[in-house]
Amino acid sequence: MKITAQEILKKEFDRKMKGYSPIEVDQFLDEIIASMEEGEKEYKAGLSALQTQVDGLISEKAALEAQIDELKAQQEEDKKNQLLLKKALAMSKKKEQDYMEKAQEKVKSLMDAAHSAADQVNREAQTKARQIVMEANESAKKTEAEVEDRVRMMRAMIENQQTSVRESHKKYAEIVQSQKKLLEQYEDLEKAMEAISFRK
């Protein structure tokens, strides 16, 4: 049966001849009461501290779970963006090929026209034909340069997106590891509280 400090304080004994000294008994009981009250204070303080730690860990766990959910959503969004970028790159390559073919056709057409004109006209016409060829070459180079610039831009975007996805994966792994450690601490505290409750 559990006895509290108040029960000891209120306990009364029958007085008989040649018994124990009432003063010594009272003094000893006072010492027991003081010791028990101090023990109860320490127990309550320890229990309160443990509860505070548990509450803190629960809050941290909830915050980490929210971060994980957010990272999962971001990861899904990154996957979608990566797919879109891959499709955009494929379209860009197709357009690049189309531009190159059209540019080559245009150059060939202009070259053929220039050669035909050079065969039919005099020196002035030949000079004009050379000018046409030069303009055609410049136009072709400009078209090719524009296509190359677009391709470089798309590749840079995809590389940046892939870097972002790798960083998100790394951060996700770190948070999961941190959550595991917090869960282990939480389980240890629960075991400690169960042990204290059992002693009580």
What is the mean pLDDT of the segment spanning 175-189? Answer: 77
Most confident residue range from 80-84, 96-100, 123-127: 80-84
Averaged confidence pLDDT in the chain? 78
pTM given for the model: 0.29
**Token output for 165:** 């996805």
Percent of the chain whose predicted confidence (pLDDT) is above 90: 0
Domains of the chain: 5-199 (1.10.287.950)
| pLDDT above 50: residue 1 | no
> Is residue 69 within 8 Å of residue 179, measured between CB atoms?
no
| pLDDT above 50: residue 102 | yes
Contacts of 139 (CB under 8 A, 6+ apart): 103, 106, 107
| pLDDT above 60: residue 133 | yes
29-56 CB burial, b ≥16 within 10 A, e <16: eeeebeebeeeeeeeeeeeeeeeeebee
Contacts of 176 (CB under 8 A, 6+ apart): 68
